[in-house]
């Protein structure tokens, strides 16, 4: 058991925020994890995957555990499908590339999403018309308080838009160890999201393979979203709000071209990026250190030396302004620590 004290988390969060953990440990097995938790039973805990969906607003006065549980395994296969069990610590995009190279379809639209496999179910990651829940069979988690291992099937995870049971009443209570996916051996291409079709045309591809879809998604993401290795960020900082038809009608009176998508009975999703851009925030920078990204208003960025609290305060100001201007309440997608 290797423990480091007053350990900088800068390299462990994609925002690149400097904050310290009182105690820090990297674990490579469940035994390892149990041992560290037992030894520091009285400390506050923060389990960490790829650190791509957190904002550290202060030093963490407890134990941070980086989960490096690795492994990719074929569980079974039949004529049409393959079942894969993947360790929580595997890098999500590397898992996607492995699937794409083998011709297994289902995750190609979610190429280049930052983070780890274990973090993916936490918020039911999604992109370009596909969500994790579409390919998810089950996961295995350790519940430290009870010291039990539990299997959560798809329906038990209560997946919703960027949400799951692990973000709600099991928040902080379950550590995901591995995830089982069911992918298709017969490509089921999803090009319904407009920008994928446009990108395929730009790539001169008329009958796309899953590799083409993955490449198209990588190209779109690279053109719109800042690479966390270059500019600190955690992807979409806010969720796209879901509002009533009355709210959409009010919005359309003032902004006839406001984008909106029906997502349920009397429920419409309005892109937060559009609201934030229309309110004039896109591309603003503060002190050359942080701000709102110039190509995607949903993404807050740390150019250098920003405190997590400064990003948080900026997000508060944006939320208040959107409420004032559009009577729509934005909700953060990123976990505030
Ligand atoms: N838009 C603007 N201004 C902006 C950004 C977007 O007007 O600055 C408008 C676009 O014109 C478009 C609409 O908003 O009409 C949707 O934009 P986009 O396709 O870029 O997607 P998004 O709704 O902004 C969501 C996810 C992304 C995911 C993309 C593609 C959320 C919170 N975000 O963004 O996920 O990659 O769709 O599927 O749902 C993430 O969660 O970290 C993330 C990047």
**pLDDT tens digits, one per residue of 270-297:** 999 999 999 999 999 999 999 999 999 9
Reported confidence tier of residue 188, pLDDT bands at 50, 70, 90:
confident
Quick one: pLDDT at residue 193? 84
3-class state of residue 310 by DSSP:
helix
The set of residues, in sequence order, having a beta carbon less than 8 Å from that of 314 and lying 6+ positions away, is 286, 290, 291, 292, 300
Phi, psi (5° rounding) for residue 331? -120, 140
Ligand 1 contact via 176 beta carbon (within 6 Å): no
Residue 162 CA: nearest ligand 1 atom is 39
Q: How far apart are CA 85 and CA 302, in angstroms?
A: 35
Residue ID of nearest Cα to ligand 1 atom 22? 271
pLDDT tens, position by position, 76-91 = 999 999 999 999 999 9
Reported confidence tier of residue 23, pLDDT bands at 50, 70, 90:
very high
Q: Is 90 exceeded by the pLDDT of residue 1?
A: no
In a 13 Å sphere around the CA of 297, the CA atoms on its Cβ side amount to 18
- Give yes or no for a contact between 81 and 52, defined as CB atoms under 8 angstroms apart: no
Quick one: pLDDT at residue 212? 97
Cα–Cα nearest to 13, from 307, 324, 331? 307
Q: How many residues in total does the chain contain?
A: 337
Residue ID of nearest Cα to ligand 1 atom 32? 239
Q: How far apart are CA 52 and CA 326, in angstroms?
A: 29
Q: Which domains does the chain have, with CATH numbers?
A: 4-67 (3.30.43.10), 72-224 (3.30.465.10), 232-336 (3.90.78.10)
pLDDT > 70 fraction of the chain, expressed in percent and rounded: 100
CA 297 – ligand 1 centroid, Å: 9
CA 132 – ligand 1 centroid, Å: 17
Ligand 1 contact via 271 beta carbon (within 6 Å): yes
pLDDT tens, position by position, 115-152 = 999 999 999 999 999 999 999 999 999 999 999 999 99
Q: Is 306 exposed, middle or buried (0-12, 13-18, 19+ CB in 10 A)?
A: buried
Quick one: pLDDT at residue 87? 98
3-class state of residue 242 by DSSP:
strand
Ligand 1 contact via 259 beta carbon (within 6 Å): yes
41 is catalytic: no
Quick one: pLDDT at residue 102? 97
Reported confidence tier of residue 53, pLDDT bands at 50, 70, 90:
very high
For residue 23, list its beta bridge partners: 5, 63
Q: Is 90 exceeded by the pLDDT of residue 194?
A: no
Q: How far apart are CA 331 and CA 215, in angstroms?
A: 31
| Catalytic residue of the set 90, 236, 310, 315 | 236
246 is catalytic: no
As a whole number, the mean pLDDT across the chain is: 96
Among 110, 123, 127, 222, name the best residue to mutate to test ligand 1's pocket (greatest count of ligand atoms within 8 A of Cβ). 127
Q: How far apart are CA 149 and CA 183, in angstroms?
A: 25
Q: How far apart are CA 231 and CA 177, in angstroms?
A: 29
- Give yes or no for a contact between 36 and 63, defined as CB atoms under 8 angstroms apart: yes
Residue ID of nearest Cα to ligand 1 atom 20? 296
Q: Is 80 exceeded by the pLDDT of residue 75?
A: yes
Q: Is 90 exceeded by the pLDDT of residue 48?
A: yes
Q: How far apart are CA 185 and CA 85, in angstroms?
A: 16
Among 109, 268, 273, name the best residue to mutate to test ligand 1's pocket (greatest count of ligand atoms within 8 A of Cβ). 273
pLDDT tens, position by position, 314-329 = 999 999 999 999 999 9
What crossing angle do the helices spanning 210-224 and 92-101 adopt, rounded to 10°?
A: 150
Quick one: pLDDT at residue 192? 84
CA 131 – ligand 1 centroid, Å: 14
329 is catalytic: no
| pTM score, whole prediction | 0.95
Q: Is 90 exceeded by the pLDDT of residue 245?
A: yes
What crossing angle do the helices spanning 210-224 and 194-202 adopt, rounded to 10°?
A: 100
For residue 4, list its beta bridge partners: 24
- Give yes or no for a contact between 139 and 151, defined as CB atoms under 8 angstroms apart: yes
| Catalytic residue of the set 162, 219, 221, 315 | 162
């Amino acid at each position: 058991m290797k423990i480091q004290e007053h350990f900088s988390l800068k390299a462990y969060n994609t925002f690149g925020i400097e904050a310290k953990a009182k105690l820090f440990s990297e674990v490579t097995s469940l035994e390892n994890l149990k041992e560290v938790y037992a030894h520091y039973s009285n400390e506050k805990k923060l389990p960490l995957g790829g650190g791509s969906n957190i904002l550290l607003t202060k030093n963490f006065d407890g134990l941070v555990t980086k989960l490096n549980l690795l492994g990719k395994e074929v569980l079974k296969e039949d004529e049409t499908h393959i079942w894969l069990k993947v360790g929580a610590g595997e890098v999500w995009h590397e898992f996607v590339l492995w699937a794409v190279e083998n011709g297994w379809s289902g995750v190609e639209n979610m190429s280049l999403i930052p983070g780890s496999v274990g973090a993916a179910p936490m918020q039911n990651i999604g992109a370009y018309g596909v969500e994790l829940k579409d390919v998810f069979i089950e996961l295995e988690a350790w519940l430290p308080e009870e010291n039990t291992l539990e299997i959560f099937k798809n329906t038990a995870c209560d997946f919703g838009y960027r949400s799951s049971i692990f973000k709600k009443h099991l928040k902080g209570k379950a550590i995901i160890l591995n995830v089982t996916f069911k992918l298709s051996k017969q490509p089921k291409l999803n090009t319904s999201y407009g920008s994928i079709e446009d990108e395929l045309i730009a790539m001169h591809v008329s009958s796309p393979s899953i590799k083409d879809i993955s490449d198209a998604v990588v190209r779109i993401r690279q053109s719109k979203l800042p690479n966390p290795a270059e500019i600190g960020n955690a992807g979409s900082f806010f969720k796209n709000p879901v509002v009533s038809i009355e709210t959409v009608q009010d919005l359309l009176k003032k902004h006839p071209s406001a984008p909106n998508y029906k997502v349920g009975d009397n429920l419409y999703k309005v892109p937060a990026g559009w609201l934030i851009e229309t309110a004039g925030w896109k591309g603003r920078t503060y002190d050359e250190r942080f701000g709102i990204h110039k190509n995607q208003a949903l993404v807050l960025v740390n150019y250098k030396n920003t405190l997590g609290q400064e990003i948080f305060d900026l997000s508060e100001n944006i939320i208040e302004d959107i409420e004032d201007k559009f009577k729509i309440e934005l909700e953060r997608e990123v976990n505030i620590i």
